[in-house]
Every structure is written in C-alpha cells, then in structure tokens.
Amino acid sequence: MVLKNYRTLTSTQTYDGTASTQTTDLPRDFLIQRILLNFNGTTVLGGTSTLVEDPLLSCVSAIRIKAVGEGSSRTIFDVSGADLYYMNLFDNAFGLDLDNTDTSAATHTQQMGFICDMRINKLDPDDFSVAIPSYLLSTLQLEIEYTTSALGYGTNVTSQSFTCSITLIEGIPEASEDFSGNPLLTVLSKTFNAAASTGEEDFDTFFQVGALVRRSFLKVETSAGARTATQLDDFTIKSGQIPLMSKIKYDANVNKDIQNYRVSETIDGFTIVNGYTFIDFANNRQPFIPTASGLKIDGLSTVGYNVGDLVFTGNFDTASCIITRVQETVEG
C-alpha cells in the first residue's frame, strides 16, 4: 500500500515579464504522481491593455520534466502553459485558479495554476501505476520557459512579478513494493504547419509510435496563431491501411468531449472548447482492462510500428492552419 506524501518545495521560480528559462531540481526520494504549479503575483498596466489570446497563461511557453537515469537522458513532459491549463480543465471538468482578464490601467493581483499529472486515471487519487520513480534517477528537473509580457499578456504592461510555488504529490512505497518495472508515461507536444492550400493533407509523423498511445490533445490555430474551431473540417487516422477513425467531423469530436469529459462549452462566459479536442484511443473513465494476468492499460499499441505507420489526415477548410498535438504515451 503506497503511502501518500505532500510537500511544497522551498525552491521557487520567479517571472518578471522577461524571456527566460529556469530550472528547479526535484527531489528523488519517492514516486512522483503530480506536480502542482501555483503562480501568484501582480501585473501592472500603464494603460488599457489589448490582450493576447490566453493572457497570462501564454507567459509560460513550456513546462518540461527532464530525467537522467537508467541509461538514458530524456524529456518526459513538454507542454505549453495554455495547453496544459486546458488539458487540466478537460480532465477535471473545471478550471484551476486563473485571473487573467484585467485590462485597465492599474496594479492587478493575479494567479494561475497548472498540474503536471502523471496518472492514467486522472480521477483516481491513488493511481501510482505510471508515477515517476524518482529514486531510480540520477537527475530530475522541472524546467519552465517564459516569454515576454508583450507576447504573454498584452500591450501596455509596465511590469509583472510572479512567484511559482512547486508542490509534489508523491507515493512512498512499502519495503516489499517494487516499482522499478512500472511503465513510464510521457506527455509531449509537437506542432505542424498545414499546407498553403485547402483539402486533405497527410501527417506521417503526427504520432509518436513504438509504445502505447492513449490519447492526443489537439489544438487547431489559424495561420496567425488564433485558436479556431472552423478550419479543420474532419480528420482520419489510419494504421497502415486500416482506418481507425474515418472522416470524423471536428464538431462531432468536440461534442464527444463535452460528454466524455463533462466539460461545458463555455465557462464563466469564455468559450474553452474552441480550438481544442481530444483524440482518444482509450476509455478514460475505465482506463484499466482486466486480464487473466491482472490489469493492463487501455490504449492503442504501436509497438513495432515505424514512422508513417500511423497517419493523421486533416481535411482543412482554410489554408496554412497550425496544429499542435499533446500526446500521452505509455512506455514499457
């Protein structure tokens, strides 16, 4: 029985409105199930601000977890602040702390929060099936990349000052429990630029293959970088010549998300589904399948696949769209 442990690190990160990349060493004692990031601070506006899309969230260009150990050095988590916030919203059916709509000339107290969630079942607080075995690693680091206030918030920003606190939700195994053979969850982003023409386009490298693909969080943007729900008409996914999903209408997939993830299409008057949808290869409400030997994790096995064996085909109504996917993969 894993004993749960909560701790907030003494180390923090600070954001002052300038571009930087900051690294925090994470403790390597136990199983790390979740990393909670809480930003609190102020934004000072010298005049009325015209906001960027996803203001404040966009100040965080990327949140990464980097691990060294067991013969490899790799990034196991790499997601932008905005994409992670909305993934958290879908998984929890409500948004985390966020104050990001201030536009008037004044000093504004604001906050935002993110969860790096290393669980298969996002609704199970006791799921340590793919938690990070930090005690088997020689290095484990949290890296956050920040952009400027102008790119991350909007115009007329005089100054910003935020502190990010880092809280770990961990598991302490009993002496008889061995997690060294547990699978590893990776959560990784990749961005693609569609062709300068409408119609269908194949993306041979859209998915990371070679392991168990659980789901991909899909974001569609215009060529100017604005989230849109109208430029991808439908999509098809083929494994070799076998169609796994055929001509799935984007709007239909969004309606599936609203049902499966229990999210509203609007929250507090803001359209949060716009431009985002999940491609699910697994049942996220029942992610574990009973087998004769125990439980196995649900998903699409791409073990033995080569690049190009799993193809995403988008049918675009508008040219030059930008597509980002955040893929959850289980290795081992």
Q: What's the structural domain count of the chain?
A: 2
Asked if the structure places residue 103 within a domain, the reply is yes
Backbone φ and ψ of 88, nearest 5°? -60, -40
| 67-99 pLDDT tens trace | 998 778 999 999 999 999 999 999 987 778 899
The two tokens of residue 309 are 């064996």
| Digit-coded pLDDT (tens) for 176-213 | 888 888 899 999 999 999 998 899 999 999 999 999 99
Q: What 8-state DSSP symbol labels residue 124?
A: -
Q: Do residues 145 and 204 both lie within one domain?
A: no
Query: Given a cut of 90, is residue 175 above it in pLDDT?
Result: no
Please indicate, yes or no, if residue 181 is contained in any of the structural domains.
no
CATH number (domain holding residue 287): 2.60.120.20
What is the mean pLDDT of the segment spanning 127-156? Answer: 97
The neighbouring-strand residues paired with 73 are 68
Q: Summarize pLDDT for 269-282 with one digit per residue, the tens.
A: 555 678 999 999 99
Residue 278 lies in a domain: yes
The helix/strand/coil state of 150 is: helix
Strand order in the sheet with 310-316: 199-203, 310-316, 232-239, 242-249
Rg (CA), the chain: 20
- On whether both 155 and 193 belong to a single domain, the answer is no
Is the domain of 29 the same as that of 153? Answer: yes
* Per-residue pLDDT at 267 exceeds 60: no
196 and 119 share one domain: no
Copy the structure tokens of residue 231: 């430029």
Q: Residues 198, 325: one domain? A: yes
Q: How many CB atoms lie within 10 A of CB 184?
A: 18
Q: Express each pLDDT in 26-83 by its tens digit.
A: 999 999 999 999 999 999 999 999 999 999 999 999 999 999 987 789 999 999 999 9
**Residue 40: both structure tokens together:** 């609190």
Pick the closest to residue 209 from 327, 302, 326 (CA basis): 302
* Residues 105 and 166 placed together within one structural domain of the fold: yes
Residue 207, judged by CB atoms within 10 A of its CB (0-12, 13-18, 19+), counts as buried
pLDDT at 272: 60
- Is 284 contained in some domain? yes
Q: Is residue 20 part of a domain?
A: yes
The residue range of the domain holding 202 is 189-331
